[in-house]
Amino acid sequence: MTARPPAGAGAPFGARLAAAMDDHGPLCVGIDPHATLLADWGLTDDAAGLATFARTVLDAVAGRVAAVKPQAAFFERHGSAGLAVLEEVVAAGRETGTLVVVDAKRGDIGSTMGAYADAFLRDGSPLAGDALTVSPYLGFGSLGPAVDLAHATGRGLFVLCLTSNTEGHEVQHARTQDGPTVAATMAAHAAALNAGERPLGSVGLVVGATVGDAAERAGVDLVRVNGPLLAPGVGAQGAGAAELARVFGGARRQVLASSSRGVLAAGPDVAGLRAAARRAADEAAAALR
């Protein structure tokens, strides 16, 4: 495997992701070392166990899937030692040519959002992968510093839009003063930023794979977004081919299916993890391509 260039040195994230999905299938493997899973793997719930877990997942899938998605919270709970492991995951992804989506869901205003952007999107930052998940619910414009820096460095964003948690509809399906839902408004902002980009823009959305007809009910035009759609919930959380077709319809080729528990349950055996990831990638390709 050949190391890829730094994010800012090559094509924009949307183009690099589209190529990776064509090469490996539309699957992102979550790296979610929560305490229960560490115990199931026979690992200690500390930074050492965290590091072993992350290295094992990367040994199994790096260079074989379109992307990996470390969930920052499970690293942060171990303090500075855990963040050091997250930095290692980001660096290892770069070395193996695997795209890294840092799932940190950052969102704030002004200089604070600028600082988050600097941490996760700036060239040279040890926490800067290829893309970052962000929350727009202080207003899409609050993401400006992240949008600007992602654009400048060739990185991507995945903006929370339609999530699978039962509380999400309270905000996402609420109507704005002008009439559209909040989710539709967020999707329209992403579409404007992606206009004219080929094969995909670099500002994607997070749309849960188990949300059913939520996009239709909320008036969200996923095809028009013209960006990648990160879809958590594939596999163990219940989303298969029928669910993916129902949620995404004509936008299916934009979808990066995300599987965590469905793959990680096959560990700690590297061969088992690798086989589970291959099955998940093949199933996602059959459903989405």
β-pair partners for 162? 207
Evaluate whether 231 touches 259 at the Cβ level (below 8 Å): no
* Whether the predicted pLDDT of 3 surpasses 50: no
38-74 pLDDT per residue, tens: 999 999 999 999 999 999 999 999 999 999 999 999 9
CATH architecture of 7-288: Alpha-Beta Barrel (3.20)
pLDDT average, residue stretch 91-98 = 95
Q: Would you say how long the chain is, in residues?
A: 289
165-212 pLDDT per residue, tens: 989 999 999 999 889 999 999 999 999 999 999 999 999 999 999 899
Q: What is the pLDDT of residue 233?
A: 84
- From the list 34, 105, 151, 217, the catalytic residue is 105
Q: What is the pLDDT of residue 256?
A: 97
112-157 pLDDT per residue, tens: 999 999 999 999 999 999 999 999 999 999 999 999 999 999 999 9
179-190 pLDDT per residue, tens: 999 999 999 999
Q: Is 69 a catalytic residue?
A: no
State the DSSP H helix or E strand holding residue 162, giving kind and residue range, or none if neither.
strand 156-162
Q: What is the pLDDT of residue 136?
A: 98
Q: What is the pLDDT of residue 7?
A: 46
Ramachandran angles phi, psi of 85, nearest 5°: -70, -40
Domain segments of the chain as ranges: 7-288
Q: What is the pTM of this model?
A: 0.94
